[in-house]
Structure 1
Amino acid sequence: MQLKGKTALITGASSGIGEATARHLAKAGAHVVLAARRKERLARLAKRIQDETDVQVLTVATDVTKREQMEALVRQAEEELGSVDILVNNAGVMLLSFLEKDKVDEWEQMVDVNIKGVLFGLHAVLPGMLKRRDGHIINISSVAGHEVFPSSSVYSATKYAVRALSMGMEKELARSGVRVTNISPGAVATELTHHITDTDVTDRFAKQSLTPLESEDIARSIVYAVTQPENVNVNEVIVRPTNRRS
């Protein structure tokens, strides 16, 4: 119960890494605010957390690309739970495609969710954290924010941007009491790949033999970062699969 009395807000909480992170943070004692667009999934997750723990759970249907919705989300969390001590900027989309396919709408969607969504989360929580001189912001980047591969050009650009934001935040907030951690997962078994529309990319994925990580693997790294002593800031964690089959 290392996080007892803390409140964690997780975007993209309806599935994958966000869902697993919410459950792990709740088991560590944190009250959790679940934000995503899919209300039904949030309700199911809230019930599961309430069955497994005694923490408070708040669900708020939220589109992270809408600044006013992120502001309203944080206001509601502060009104009902007192503060937002941990923000997990997890919402993201991975619409891989080859540039020649010219999927401009998908490029724009990735910029809106993966970059602007992170900025709107920062904008909404930072004033309160600075006032309290306490808080922890977790940004979910990707190994694709360290390496670019064919079809990842735009996606990688957005995840490089998340890393750059994290590095800048670390420096600017170093003496403020607000800690920042950038988490870069490798391949994880989530819904992200289900939304890829470029069939050349999906065919390529189908031929790969990589054994991906599970969402819980990333959730544990997040819990590790946010449960360190106050004098410790875990700036970056890269989590990759070993590709070793059991």
Structure 2
Amino acid sequence: MKETQRGKRFIVIDDFLSERDFCAAQELMEHATFTRQESVISIEDGPAFRSKGVQFRDGLEAFSKDGRPKLYEELADAVRAYSDFFGQVGADWDRIAFAFWKYPAGSRLGWHNDAGQGRQGEFILFLHDRWRPSWGGELKLIDEDLQESKVEVTESDLVLRMEALIEQSTTSPVAVVPKPNRLVLVKSETIHTIGRVDQTAGDTLRRTLTGFVSKSQKRAAALVNAREKFEAILAAG
């Protein structure tokens, strides 16, 4: 495992899993049940295939003690290790959600930023055996702090809003090739897209385990209320 690239809003880690664990991860994906998913971003994207999601909340430090696949344990460890990126477990996040995805030739996912729902960020682990750069499917992202609330954008369509923000950015998109056993960490609110998988990929699918790191909104609200009550007591005293 080695960090090969880092930007303001993303980190690339190559050779993330050992050969044995990578094969085990592929086998886990092979036995998953997938359903066809139409894009929630744009009707022009084409379909993808998603497995049933898995989500863990409290007790994240005990991934290996209750029969959960080692793949999830390895990813949880990586998220905790990059506390400077995702924040501290408990204080900044308390949930990790996982799902396998398959993108066939002809499909993509339009520009979006995965903002909201208490998300601190996400990660993408590429699980195909082989990927030629000419097959497309790159993870493209804007490595710049562009928030809709800070830029005047009037478009109602999500993709058009994202594109309007990109037009006002001062950088060009970074393209991360979907190299096998490559893990990419991405901060929340990062504008990104999955490039269309080229027809020359044939039957080869872009295979990933994708997950979100987030903070329970109910718990966050409870902490705020508790702090406000405590401050009120101090003020009254």
What interval of TM-score do these two structures reach, taking the shorter chain for normalisation?
under 0.3
Structure with greater proportional helix content: 1
Structure with greater proportional strand content: 2
Asked which structure has the greater CA Rg, the reply is 2
**Larger RCO of the pair (alpha carbons < 8 Å, separation 6+):** 2
Normalised TM-score (structure 2): 0.21
